[in-house]
């Protein structure tokens, strides 16, 4: 059996993707339970997989099982489990703790969740299969009404950037902060927004800008470390150098003053995001784990 170990259930992309992984494996005929510290299931997105506590995992795990995890802080717990296979579901590769997982003596297998992670693994002498992100159907824009000038932003990572730009945006802009919302409420906010501003500078992938593209937003902002996979300047997004506050304000002003540019970026971003489906993620995940029925 597969078990996916997580450090908690807070509103983090890594938590949601861990549950997605478990759901996709289970739906593909390979049961996977998620182990959270106290066995709590998140209430901010939907999931169908079994959820157990870390203590329950300790009592159930045998050498016939396969453990997946993504947070470096969980490595000591995972190391103590008797499972025959332990795979790092690499969702981040831009911190020293991430890099510490690469040591061959630790015996981990790896799968990559983005091109930046693939590159970092290669740089450290590792080659891993790529399992591209999949975006839930709840985010897919299907012509819902958008409010011109409404700008959506996630303030949790990059609050200092948001404070620096808020008073400098064009007066026609309506800034909507998405914070502490469920996945469905987040999707609804993004679908109503004209523009999404990416303000985090350290993302190894950057799930919210991709979700915003899927929701039909024109995406403007910082690519972080891994956003270049889908944020392509003047093609699918208007990219600004990481941390450039003045450049971000200028980009929003430029896009707001040019409806044709805004619509072109929106259309190409929406089309490009269509490649990031859960079906594609499931098929790649099964292949990456060497399962017999992999597509």
**Predicted pLDDT of residue 124:** 87
**Predicted pLDDT of residue 72:** 93
User: In this predicted structure, which of 14-28, 81-95, 214-228 has the lowest mean pLDDT?
Assistant: 81-95
Distance between CA atoms of residues 108 and 83, nearest Å: 11
Element (H, E) at 56: helix 54-60
Digit-coded pLDDT (tens) for 96-136: 888 888 877 688 999 999 999 999 899 888 899 999 999 99
- Residue 283 within any structural domain of the chain: yes
CB 251 within 8 A of CB 238: yes
Strands 85-90 and 66-69: parallel
DSSP state of 233: B
22, pLDDT greater than 60:
yes
Whether 128 and 142 map to the same domain: the answer is no
Whether 124 and 144 map to the same domain: the answer is no
Whether 17 and 96 map to the same domain: the answer is yes
**Predicted pLDDT of residue 292:** 64
Tokens standing for 261? 């540019």
Q: What is the mean pLDDT of the chain?
A: 93
- Residue 293 within any structural domain of the chain: no
Whether 230 and 206 map to the same domain: the answer is yes
Tell me the CATH number at 188. 3.40.50.2000
- Residue 182 within any structural domain of the chain: yes
- Residue 295 within any structural domain of the chain: no
Give 270's contacts (C-beta < 8 A, 6+ positions apart).
141, 213, 214, 216
Distance between CA atoms of residues 284 and 279, nearest Å: 9
Q: How far is CA 19 from CA 4, 147, 253, in A?
A: 8, 32, 38
Tokens standing for 35? 């182990």
- Residue 294 within any structural domain of the chain: no
Whether 193 and 262 map to the same domain: the answer is yes
Whether 158 and 113 map to the same domain: the answer is no
- Residue 185 within any structural domain of the chain: yes
**Predicted pLDDT of residue 105:** 66
Distance between CA atoms of residues 227 and 225, nearest Å: 6
- Residue 218 within any structural domain of the chain: yes
Whether 143 and 265 map to the same domain: the answer is yes
Total domain count for the chain?
2
**Predicted pLDDT of residue 67:** 98
- Residue 212 within any structural domain of the chain: yes
Whether 157 and 127 map to the same domain: the answer is no
Whether 109 and 144 map to the same domain: the answer is no
Residue-range definition of the domain harbouring residue 227: 137-273
Digit-coded pLDDT (tens) for 30-79: 999 999 999 999 999 999 999 999 999 999 999 999 999 999 999 999 99
Whether 127 and 141 map to the same domain: the answer is no
Strands 109-112 and 66-69: unpaired
Whether 118 and 160 map to the same domain: the answer is no
The span from the first CA to the last CA of the chain, in angstroms, equals 20
Whether 48 and 106 map to the same domain: the answer is yes
Distance between CA atoms of residues 151 and 172, nearest Å: 10
Give 82's contacts (C-beta < 8 A, 6+ positions apart).
61, 62, 63, 65
For the sheet containing 85-90, what is the strand order? 51-53, 32-36, 2-5, 66-69, 85-90, 109-112
């Amino acid at each position: 059996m597969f078990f996916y170990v997580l450090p908690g259930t807070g509103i983090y992309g890594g938590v949601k993707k861990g549950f997605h992984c478990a759901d996709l494996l289970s739906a593909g005929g390979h049961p996977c339970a998620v182990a959270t510290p106290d066995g709590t299931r998140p209430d901010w997105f939907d999931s169908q997989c079994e959820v157990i506590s870390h203590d329950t995992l300790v009592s159930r795990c045998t050498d016939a099982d396969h453990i997946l995890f993504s947070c470096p802080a969980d490595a000591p717990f995972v190391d103590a489990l008797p499972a025959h296979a332990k795979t790092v579901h690499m969702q981040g590769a831009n911190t020293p703790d991430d890099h510490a997982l690469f040591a061959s003596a630790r015996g981990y297998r790896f799968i990559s969740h983005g091109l930046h992670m693939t590159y970092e693994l290669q740089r450290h002498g590792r080659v891993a299969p790529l399992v591209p992100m999949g975006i839930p159907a709840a985010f897919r824009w299907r012509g819902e009404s958008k409010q011109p000038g409404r700008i959506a932003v996630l303030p949790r990572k990059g609050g200092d950037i948001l404070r620096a730009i808020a008073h400098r945006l064009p007066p026609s802009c309506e800034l909507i902060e998405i914070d502490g919302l469920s996945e469905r409420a987040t999707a609804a906010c993004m679908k109503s927004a004209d523009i999404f501003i990416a303000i985090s500078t350290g993302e190894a992938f950057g799930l919210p800008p991709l979700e915003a593209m899927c929701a039909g937003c024109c995406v403007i902002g910082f690519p972080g470390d891994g956003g270049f996979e889908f944020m392509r300047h003047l093609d699918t997004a208007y990219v600004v150098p990481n941390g450039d506050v003045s450049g971000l304000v200028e980009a929003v002003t430029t896009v707001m003053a040019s409806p044709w540019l805004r619509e072109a970026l929106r259309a190409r971003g929406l089309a490009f995001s269509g490649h990031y489906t859960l079906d594609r993620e499931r098929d790649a995940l099964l292949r990456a784990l060497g399962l017999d029925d992999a597509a």
